[in-house]
């Protein structure tokens, strides 16, 4: 009787901004690894999520949304995407079934035509549309690229995610575990903290603010029976700073309370969260700050 070989490898989750990549990652792992927001460009870094089963180990790589870069920040974001396209064993292109095919989608397809890595198409948010529309989307996409599998899913509801996982194992190479069995992500604690704070900022701000906001954790240390965390929220204009602080400091207080509660739940420790908001003009083109932000993801 032939015994099935253990599989392991990397699966890149790719697509335009806001198609549900991070929601999919969180649901595949059964816990929150990536922050969620309805704002574009929520994911800025490569986020690794590791799922270990009896069949194998799948290392999901959640990438920033594919877009044309206008700032050094965006160039850095897209460098993660291009690296994944070449280095991963399998690509999973996620599209939003509720959105019409446009120039952004064409840009993604043309980008994928340049790589030889096997690619799945995941049609997300099928819970929001009828079956007839799903068939039309499949019919449109099947000739655009040589997709190895086309799977309609709902990342939020969990629809067909079991099928997605089964199909992944068919395409992953044979191999031993690449990470310890109990490891779920390679994120540093500083990065997790900064992302949770940024998520709360995104939830409470509108318009252009999500694009011009960054969070740098400058200190994290035990003090008595709690963890002291000092973090700076960077924005590009004084008007942005005033928005985040809010009337009489109400908004920054709300952001701090929500972030602290989530951090206390994750760390199972009392947290003193010291937040400040600073203006740094054109920080998205500042190599010094971008390097600090990147460094905290591995500290």
pLDDT of residue 192: 86
* Average pLDDT of the segment spanning 46-62: 90
CA contacts within 13 A on the Cβ side of 74? 13
Per-residue pLDDT for 42 more than 70?
no
Q: What digits encode the pLDDT tens for the residues 147-162?
A: 999 999 999 999 999 9
Domain range annotation of the chain: 7-171, 189-295
Taking only Cα atoms into account, the Rg of the chain, rounded to an integer number of angstroms, comes to: 20
Which residue in the block uniquely carries the two structure tokens 């309805």? 38
CATH (one of 3.40.50.970, 3.40.50.150, 3.30.300.20, 3.30.530.20) for 189-295: 3.30.300.20
Does the pLDDT at position 27 exceed 80?
A: yes
Among 216, 188, 198, smallest CA distance to 48 is for: 188
Under the banding of pLDDT at 50, 70 and 90, the label for residue 9 is: very high
What whole-number distance in Å separates Cα of residue 138 and Cα of residue 171?
21
Q: E strands, the chain, where?
A: 7-14, 47-52, 56-62, 90-96, 119-124, 149-152, 214-223, 226-235, 270-279
pLDDT at 32 over 90: no
Query: Quick one: pLDDT at residue 190?
Result: 87
Q: What tokens were used for 91?
A: 């690509």
Superfamily of domain 7-171: P-loop containing nucleotide triphosphate hydrolases (3.40.50.300)
Predicted confidence band at 75 (pLDDT cuts at 50, 70, 90)?
low
* Separation between Cα atoms, residue 276 and residue 59, nearest integer Å: 35
pLDDT of residue 1: 40
Alpha carbon distances (Å) from 19 to 13, 105, 206, 232, 272: 10, 11, 19, 29, 35
Average pLDDT over residues 247-266: 92
Place 66 in a pLDDT band, splitting at 50, 70 and 90. Answer: low
**pLDDT on residue 53:** 94
* pLDDT computed for residue 199 by the predictor: 86
pLDDT band at 290 (very low <50, low <70, confident <90, very high): confident
Q: Is residue 118 very low, low, confident or very high in pLDDT (cuts 50, 70, 90)?
A: very high
- Taking all residues of the chain, what is their mean pLDDT, rounded to a whole number? 86
Among the residue ranges 41-45, 126-130, 270-274, the one predicted with the least confidence is 41-45
What DSSP character marks residue 209?
Answer: G
pLDDT band, very low/low/confident/very high, at 15 (cuts 50, 70, 90): confident
Task: Please compute the mean of the pLDDT values over residues 232-246 and round it to a whole number.
Answer: 91
> What integer pLDDT is reported at residue 258 of this predicted model?
94
pLDDT at residue 126 in the model: 96
Residue 203 pLDDT more than 50? yes
For 172-191, the pLDDT digits (tens) are 999 999 999 988 888 888 88
């Amino acid at each position: 009787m032939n015994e099935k070989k253990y599989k392991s490898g990397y699966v890149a989750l790719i697509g335009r901004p806001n198609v549900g990549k991070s929601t999919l990652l969180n649901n595949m792992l059964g816990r929150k690894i990536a922050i969620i927001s309805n704002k574009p460009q929520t994911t800025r870094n490569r986020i690794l999520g590791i799922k270990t089963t009896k069949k194998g180990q799948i290392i999901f790589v959640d990438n920033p949304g594919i877009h044309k870069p206008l700032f050094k920040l965006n160039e850095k974001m897209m460098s993660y995407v291009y690296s994944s396209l070449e280095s991963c064993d399998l690509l999973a292109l996620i599209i939003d079934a509720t959105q019409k095919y446009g120039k952004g989608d064409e840009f993604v397809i043309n980008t994928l035509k340049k790589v030889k890595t096997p690619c799945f198409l995941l049609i997300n948010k099928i819970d929001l549309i009828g079956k007839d529309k799903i068939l039309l989307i499949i019919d449109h996409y099947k000739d655009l690229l040589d997709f190895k599998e086309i799977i309609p899913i709902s990342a939020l509801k969990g629809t067909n995610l079991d099928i997605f996982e089964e199909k992944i194992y068919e395409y992953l190479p044979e191999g031993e575990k690449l990470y310890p069995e109990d490891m779920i992500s390679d994120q540093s604690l500083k990065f997790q903290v900064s992302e949770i704070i940024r998520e709360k900022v995104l939830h409470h701000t509108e318009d252009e603010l999500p694009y011009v906001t960054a969070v740098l954790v400058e200190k994290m240390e035990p003090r008595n029976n709690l963890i002291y965390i000092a973090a700076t929220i960077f924005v590009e204009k004084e008007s942005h700073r005033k928005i985040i602080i809010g009337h009489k400091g109400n908004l920054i207080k709300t952001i701090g309370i929500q972030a602290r509660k989530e951090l206390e739940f994750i760390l199972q420790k009392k947290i003193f969260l010291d937040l400040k908001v600073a203006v740094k003009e054109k920080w998205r083109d500042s190599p010094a700050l971008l390097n600090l932000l990147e460094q905290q993801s591995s500290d």
